Amino acid sequence: MAQGAEATLDIRRLVGRWSLRAASHAGRFTFLMADMVRGLAEWRIYLPRTFEQAMSIGYGSLFIVLLVAGFTGAVTSLQAGYQFTGSVPLYIYGTVIAESVILELGPVLTGLILAGRVGARYAAELGTMRVTEQIDALESLGRSPVSHLILPRVLAGMMVIPALTMFANVTGFVTGWLAAKSSIGITNADFIFGARYYFRPFDLWYSMIKATFFAGAVTMIPCYIGYNTQQGAEGVGRATTLAVVAASVTILLLDTVLAKLLLHN
């Protein structure tokens, strides 16, 4: 009996501790967001650094994003060919590839790749700056770490990630088209007809909206985690891993929520 009561108490304590921790993170994240909004007025500080960051993450990520999108488009096409051969008209392949790449694969895979590439980099950079007191040094000089470090990174991501997603969409579509031509012998006319038949201009907007939300997750979460890093090199390692995991999970959650909100209303 006593053991049962103790176990219940332990679970309550655990839940209480986790709730407090979650509330503390939510509070600090909200304050960081508020600081970012306030920092928007200091454009002279963050704008030049934003372009530097945008160039760096844009060029640096382009190859891997296009590589993954290219293979994904081709594989989607080959698998669709394997599943549907003979059962549906050929033009449907154009529909399947265009819609799956634009609505889902382009934005989600780009988001996940960048969560690993950009998110890890942001968390590690800011985490290292925190544990080596560089962020404290910036504050001690009366300068805002948000305007100098966080805003440029977030804004660069918000600019570059939707653009990379569009490049990924185009690449996935083209490789899917080429793979369909070579595997099931679909004509260009049939493929384009299928791609246009079910296409709605909103699909591209939907892809862009998703990419923008994912950009927020890929930049803000790692920046927040890196900015609040503690306990030396081990802390930086932990922050980097946590940033990638948290950004990836948030992307998947946002993917579901946005599909429900934007496609089923």
Partner 1 sequence: MIELRKVSKRFVDHVVLDQVDLLVEDGQTVALLGPSGVGKSVLLKHIIGLIKPDKGEVLVDGLHVAALKRKELAELRGKIGYVFQNGALFDSMDVTENIRLGITDQACSADDAYCTNRVTECLRLVNLLPEVGLKYPAELSGGMRKRVGIARAIAGKPKYLLYDEPTSGLDPMNADVIDALIERLQEELGVTSVVVSHDVRGSFRVADKVALLWQAKIRAVGTPEEILASRDPAVQQFLERDLEMAVIQSESEGGGA
- How many angstroms separate the Cα of 263 from the Cα of each of 25, 70, 200, 214, 253? 31, 26, 12, 17, 15
CA dihedral 191, 193, 199, 205 (to 10 degrees): 70
Q: How far is the CB of 216 from partner 1 (least distance, A)?
A: 24
Of 129 and 254, nearer to partner 1 (C-beta) is 129
**Residue 230 in contact with partner 1, rule: CB under 8 A:** no
**Given candidates 6, 10, 136, 234, which one binds partner 1 under the rule CB under 8 A?**
136
User: Contact between 141 and partner 1 (CB under 8 A)?
Assistant: yes
Q: Is residue 208 a contact partner of residue 108, using CB atoms and an 8 Å limit?
A: no
Q: What is the CA radius of gyration of the chain?
A: 22
Taking the mean position of all CA atoms in its chain, how far away is CA 209? 12
- What is the spatial distance between Cα 125 and Cα 132, in angstroms, rounded to a whole number? 11
Report if residue 4 touches partner 1, rule: CB under 8 A.
no
Cα–Cα dist 169/73, whole Å? 9
- By CB under 8 A, tell whether 144 contacts partner 1: yes
If the CB atoms of residues 86 and 142 are measured against partner 1, the closer one turns out to be 142
Site for partner 1 in 100-129 (CB under 8 A): 128-129
If the CB atoms of residues 136 and 234 are measured against partner 1, the closer one turns out to be: 136
Residue 234 in the binding site for partner 1 (CB under 8 A) = no
DSSP 101: I
Contact call for residue 265 and partner 1 (CB under 8 A): no
Contact set with partner 1 (CB under 8 A): 128-129, 132-134, 136-144
